C-alpha cells in the first residue's frame, strides 16, 4: 500500500509539472510557475490599474539622453528632444554639441528626415526599418510611441482576461498571455509598477524586451524616467533617460510635419531613389 501511495504521488507530481510546462514554454528555466488564484487576482488588479493609466497617457514632450549600441555602431550618448503623441506621431531632434544634427518626424505612413548641416530633407515610408535606420528603434511608429510612453501593448485587452501563466523572475512577477498565433506577451511587475514588456515569437525566442524604471508621479500619473529596450534579432540595445518630461501637454499636429525650407535645399525620396 505504501508503494502504491508513493507511485500515485509521483504520478500526480509528474502531471502537475507537465501542465506547468505546457503553459510556459520558452520561459527562463529559473522562473518558478505560480498559478494560484490569489496571484491571478493580484495580476488582474495590476493590469486593470495599468490599463487605466495607459488610457490617460496621450502625449509626452521631454529632453532625453539616448544611448545606443549594436555590433557595428557604438556612438556616444546623444542628447535629444522627443515629442510622442498617440497613436503614432513622433518627432525626435538629435543634437551634436549645441546644434541640431538631425530631425525625424512622422504622423502617419510617411517619415521625414531633415539634416540641417546639408539643408537636406528626405522622405521615406514610416516603417520599422526606417525608424531603425534613423532613430535606432526597429518598430513601426505606433509601437515606438507606446515604448517611449511606457504603455503596455493591448493592456486593456490583457486586463480583461487572466494570464496563461504567472512566473517569478528575480524580484519581478511576470504574467504571460498567449496570442492566437502562439506568440506570447509578457508583462513584468514590481511593487505594482510595470517594469517589463517582453514579446516572444511562436518558438519562444524573444522579439523585443523593454524595461522601465525610476517612476515618478506627474500630475497623478506615474511615469518612468528610464527606458531600456533590447532587440535580439537586430543585436541592438537602446536606452533613454528622460529629463523633466511634460505629460499630456498641448502638442499641435503641425509639429510632426517637416516642410522644405524657404531657402530651397536638397530633397530626396528614399522609396523612389534610383538604385
Instruction: Please report, for the chain, the start and end positions of each structural domain, with discontinuous segments joined by +.
Output: 29-75+139-256
Using pLDDT thresholds of 50, 70 and 90, give the confidence band for residue 240: very high
The span from the CA of 130 to the CA of 9, in Å, is: 57
Mean pLDDT rounded to a whole number for the chain: 84
Using DSSP bridges, classify how beta strands 193-200 and 266-269 pair: parallel, antiparallel or unpaired. Answer: unpaired
Q: What is the mean pLDDT of residues 118-140?
A: 92
Q: What pLDDT shows up at residue 261?
A: 66
Tell which phi-psi region holds residue 202, choosing left (phi > 0), alpha (psi between -120 and 50) or beta. Answer: alpha
**Contact status, residue 57 vs residue 218, Cβ threshold 8 Å:** no
pLDDT of residue 272: 62
pLDDT confidence bin for 38, thresholds 50/70/90? confident
Top-confidence range, 11-20, 63-72, 235-244, 257-266: 235-244
Given this model, what pLDDT does residue 74 score?
Answer: 64
pLDDT at position 75 is 63
Which pLDDT belongs to residue 274? Answer: 40
Instruction: Evaluate if pTM is beyond 0.75.
Output: yes
- Separation of alpha carbons 84 and 241, rounded Å: 15
Question: For 32-36, 148-152, 174-178, which range has the lowest pLDDT when averaged over its residues?
Answer: 32-36
Strand partners, 104: 92, 113
Q: Which of 18-27, 112-121, 181-190 has the lowest mean pLDDT?
A: 18-27
| pLDDT tens digits along 246-270 | 999 999 999 999 987 655 678 878 7
pLDDT band at 174 (very low <50, low <70, confident <90, very high): very high
Give the model's pLDDT for residue 267. Answer: 80
pLDDT > 90: what percent of the chain? 66
Amino acid at each position: 500500500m505504501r508503494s502504491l501511495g508513493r507511485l500515485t504521488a509521483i504520478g500526480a507530481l509528474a502531471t502537475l509539472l507537465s501542465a506547468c510546462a505546457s503553459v510556459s514554454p520558452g520561459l527562463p528555466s529559473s522562473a518558478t510557475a505560480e498559478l494560484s488564484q490569489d496571484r491571478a487576482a493580484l495580476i488582474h488588479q495590476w493590469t486593470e490599474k495599468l490599463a487605466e493609466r495607459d488610457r490617460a497617457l496621450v502625449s509626452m514632450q521631454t529632453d532625453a539622453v539616448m544611448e545606443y549600441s549594436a555590433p557595428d555602431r557604438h556612438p556616444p550618448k546623444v542628447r535629444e528632444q522627443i515629442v510622442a503623441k498617440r497613436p503614432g506621431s513622433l518627432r525626435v531632434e538629435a543634437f551634436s554639441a549645441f546644434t541640431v544634427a538631425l530631425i525625424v518626424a512622422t504622423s502617419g505612413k510617411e517619415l521625414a528626415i531633415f539634416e540641417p548641416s546639408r539643408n537636406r530633407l528626405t522622405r521615406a515610408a514610416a516603417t520599422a526599418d526606417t525608424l531603425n535606420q534613423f532613430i535606432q528603434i526597429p518598430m513601426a511608429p505606433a509601437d515606438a510611441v507606446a515604448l517611449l510612453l511606457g504603455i503596455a501593448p493591448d493592456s486593456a485587452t490583457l486586463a480583461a482576461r487572466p494570464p496563461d501563466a504567472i512566473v517569478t523572475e528575480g524580484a519581478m512577477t511576470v504574467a504571460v498571455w498567449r496570442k492566437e498565433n502562439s506568440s506570447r506577451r509578457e508583462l513584468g511587475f514590481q511593487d505594482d509598477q510595470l517594469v517589463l514588456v517582453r514579446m516572444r515569437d511562436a518558438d519562444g525566442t524573444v522579439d523585443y524586451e523593454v524595461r522601465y524604471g525610476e517612476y515618478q508621479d506627474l500630475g497623478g500619473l506615474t511615469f518612468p524616467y528610464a527606458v531600456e529596450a533590447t532587440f535580439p534579432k537586430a543585436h541592438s540595445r537602446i536606452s533613454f533617460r528622460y529629463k523633466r518630461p511634460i505629460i499630456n501637454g498641448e502638442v499641435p499636429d503641425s509639429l510632426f510635419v517637416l516642410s522644405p525650407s524657404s531657402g530651397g535645399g536638397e530633397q530626396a525620396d528614399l522609396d523612389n531613389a534610383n538604385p
